[in-house]
Amino acid sequence: MAAPARSRAAVRFDGLERSATMALHDVVAELRAAGKTIVDLAKGEPDQPTPAVVTDAAVAALRDGHTRYTVGRGIPELRAAIGRKLSGDNGIQADPDEGIVVTPSAKHALFVAMMTLLDPGDEIIVPSPGWVSYRAMAHLVGARAVPAQLSGDDGFRLTKEILTGCLTARTRAVLVNTPNNPTGRVLDATELDAVAEFAIEHGLFVITDEIYETIRFRGSPHLSIAARPECADRTLTVNGLSKSHAMTGWRLGYLAGPPDLISVALKVQEHTVSCATSFVQHAAVAALTGAEDDVAQMVSEYGRRRDLVVSTLDGLGGLACPPPDGTFYAFPDISGAGHGDSAEFAEWLLREAGVATVPGTAFGPGGEGYVRLSFAVPTIELESALERMSEVLAAS
C-alpha cells in the first residue's frame, strides 16, 4: 500500500501565508503592467535617497577591497559605533565584543532573536495590530504568536491587563514594537512599566523592535526597555538602518542583548548567513557617525506629509485619522466609511481610486476596521492619492 500523500514542502509551512505587504507589491506591479495608473501607499519604504556620506563610504569600501567575509559578529568599527549609539541615544549598555551582532537587516535580527529564545511549543505575546511577519516568524521556529489585542478606542495603548489576558503556561517572551507599525503608536513610560513588571513577575524575555526609532513627531520621546537595569538581562533589542537612513536595499541591522543570549544568536547567524555584507558594514559606520543632518531632514519631511494626510483624511467620508506619534504610516479608521471591512475597503479603494493601501487585518485581528497607508512617497504622488481618495469618498 502506498504511503499517504503529503505536501512536497515541510509541514511548518502549512497554513503560512505570504507577507501581505510583499504580496501587495506584486498586485500593484501587475496592475501597472496592465496599463493602470496606481498610486502605491502600501509599501513601507522611504522614498528619499540614502545619504551621500553613506553611499560614498560604500564605494570607498569596495575600492579598498572590502568584499570578503567578515567575522560573524560584524566588523569591530561598526560594533563600536552601535555600542556608542545605544549608550548615547538609548541608555543601553551593550558590550561591542560580546553583546552585539550585526545582521543583514533588522528583519533577520528579529528572526535570530526568536530562534535564540523560542522552542517548539513556546508562546510569544505580540501586539495586534502589529507587523505582518511577527506571527510568521514565530510559526517558522515552531512557536505560537499570541495576539495582545489593542484598541483604537484608547489609542492602541498596551496595558498589563491586556498582557495578563494572554498569559499561559507556555508563554516565554513578549514582543514590543515602538514606534509601532502599523499604528504609529510610541510607547510611553507607563506602558513600558507594564511590560517590565509583567516580564519580571512571570520570568519572561522581551524582544523589542525599534526600527522606527528616529521617526517620531510631536516631541514623543523614544524609550528603550533594555535601558532599565531590571530588564537589561532579559531583553533583546532589534534595530537597523533601513527606515532611519533610507537603506532598505542595503539590508543592515543589528541585535543587542546580554552576552549569553548573543553568543547563541551568533550561532544562528553563522549557520544561516555567515555575516552581514562587508562593504555595507563599512557604509553603516558612516551612517551612524556622519548622517545626523540627513536623518533630521527626512523626519522633518515625513512630519510635513503626516500633517497633510491627517488634515485631508480625518473626517472625510466617514474616516477617522488621528495623527500618528511616529513611523511614516497613517492608520485611519474606515469603519464609518460604508465600504465593508478593511479588506473590502482596500479592494474598493484600489479599484475605484487606483490607490493601494494595506488592509488592517494583515496586521492581526486587532487591525480590523483600519487600513494602513504610507506617506513615505514623493509628495506629488501623495497629493495625487489624497485627491483620488477625496473624490471617491465624497461621491460614495
Q: List pLDDT tens digits, range 202-213.
A: 999 999 999 999
| Residue 13's pLDDT band (cuts 50, 70, 90) | confident
Same fold, 11-49+293-395 and 52-290: no
Architecture of domain 11-49+293-395: Alpha-Beta Complex (3.90)
User: What pLDDT score was predicted for residue 218?
Assistant: 84
User: What pLDDT score was predicted for residue 129?
Assistant: 97
pLDDT surpassing 70 at residue 22: no
pLDDT surpassing 80 at residue 238: yes
- Look up residue 325 and give its three cell numbers: 506619534
| Contact criterion met (CB below 8 Å) for 258 and 206 | no
This prediction's pTM: 0.94
- Dihedral pair phi/psi, residue 382, rounded to 5°: -65, -45
| Contact criterion met (CB below 8 Å) for 76 and 273 | no
pLDDT surpassing 70 at residue 6: no
E strand or H helix that includes residue 342 = helix 342-353
- Look up residue 342 and give its three cell numbers: 478593511
Q: List pLDDT tens digits, range 67-82.
A: 999 999 999 999 999 9
Q: Could you state, in order of their start, the residue ranges of all structural domains in the chain?
A: 11-49+293-395, 52-290
CATH class given for the domain over 52-290 = alpha beta
Task: Report CA-CA distances (Å) from 48 to 301, 327, 382, 393.
Answer: 10, 14, 14, 29
Q: List pLDDT tens digits, range 332-369.
A: 999 999 889 999 999 899 989 999 999 999 999 899 99
